[in-house]
A and B are shown apart, each in its own frame.
Chain A
Amino acid sequence: MFIFNLIFSIIKYGDDSVNTLKIIDLKVQVEDKVILDGFNLEIKSGETHVIMGPNGTGKSTLSKVIMGDTKYKILQGDILFNDESILSMTTDKRARLGLFLTMQSPITVEGVSNAEFLRVAVQGKEQKNFKLLQFVKDVESTSLKLNFSKDFIHRGLNEGFSGGERKKNEILQMYMLKPKIVILDEIDSGLDVDSLKIVGENVTEYKNKENCGLLVITHYQRLLDYIKPDFVHIMMNGKIVKSGSSSLVKYIEDNGYSEFEEKKQITGTCIVKDFLENE
């Protein structure tokens, strides 16, 4: 009876297991420059975290470090996925574990078709469970949902794609690979209002269906009209300096980041001025 109930609940509610991505005291360097410095964050299934911050503060670096880009050197700290360190894992292994990054500027690979690329990626993940017919059906239905033309799947990977099409293609890949934690690195850049709606609504639909964790890196409120955040973090100089609810986004839009900046050291000029004033 117990086994019957268990099977029934799995069929009814899907996989309810909670996945956790934990970033602990992360310090990262690239070309002798420290980009992330003491970064901490924990994302669980079903949660949506938004990271905002000025340009050059390390947001995209964070996303690439999570995925294991070898360009970056980890100086201290750890990244855990379900309590297991992933730092020694290669990028493809991290992806197969369930991490997924939508790139800010998805690259073009000449001569490799979308279909071939997706097939290799999905087959690599599903191994012996891969079924070609199901794959074709899934690609077709998802492409339709994302408003892609029929021939797009046979075109070169992102070859001749507009900015919007590239971003939608990232979402198609997300649907096909079914990740557990999704990182959206400025998915809204280069999108017109219609594409933004499609992308935003599909991300939310995917999140609700698969109960994945979301890390959204963005500069603007507009994407958050479609993807409702649970937590908003302000990132400055390689770490989170403030966390709060979605109201923080509005505050940033109105006031900018200046108040979150670290107090600057008094410069020589200031000291001289103070000295003269006091006299």
Chain B
Amino acid sequence: MLRDFTFNEVYFLLLATRWTILLAVIAFVGGGLLGLVIAGMRVSPYAVLRRAAMAYIQFFQGTPLLIQLFMVFYGTAFIGLSPDPWTAAAITFIVNSAAFFGEIFYGSIESIPRGQWEISRALGFRFVPTLRLIILPQAFRLMLPPTVGFTVQIVKGTSVASLIGLTELARTATVINTVTFEPALVFGTVALIYFALCWPLSLLGASLERRLLVQKVRGGPLGKGAAASPAAAVAGPD
């Protein structure tokens, strides 16, 4: 029996949007924190940590998000785990976005002139305090635009979780499409919902980028060594 695509169905979709947003927030916060650790390792004085961070980033940027998700969801049975879709998706999106955030943060940290590290060292700061008190506050302005830009990729990437059965926006859409068989309306509406979530973020990212560029052209406080936008994956794993 077919159902019509009514406001009821739109309401279902809007309810499911909550889970998309929640998943994106988990990936952003968890991935951001872990990404900070990865970036810290990437610039640490220990070669082992630097290499580990590089390998981490290379692995997660060099394999599909979907395969990573399947590995966590279907593949962890061999250590006796059978995570539910939410746990698997949360873990996958955190470790995946940490790689991209790590790369973004690393690029921003690298844009701060080396002299800053040397001066801090001369003043008696150790590695972590230097990073936390001197480098990161300056790098923050640089990492902000690509971070916002990558957040769009996170929101879009959460749709992949539908493929392990997590009932977020994309999954709800396929379910409603099955019972109404109005694909143009269903997926059109869903596309609009994703667009409404992502577009403001895209605009914010672009405007932050422009502002940074203007500051740079005017010879802002960062001076010559600063790059306007660190090499960042602006187009991500969706």
Q: Report if A and B associate in a common complex.
A: no
Interface residues of B, Cβ cutoff 8 Å to A: none
Interface of A toward B, CB cutoff 8 Å: none
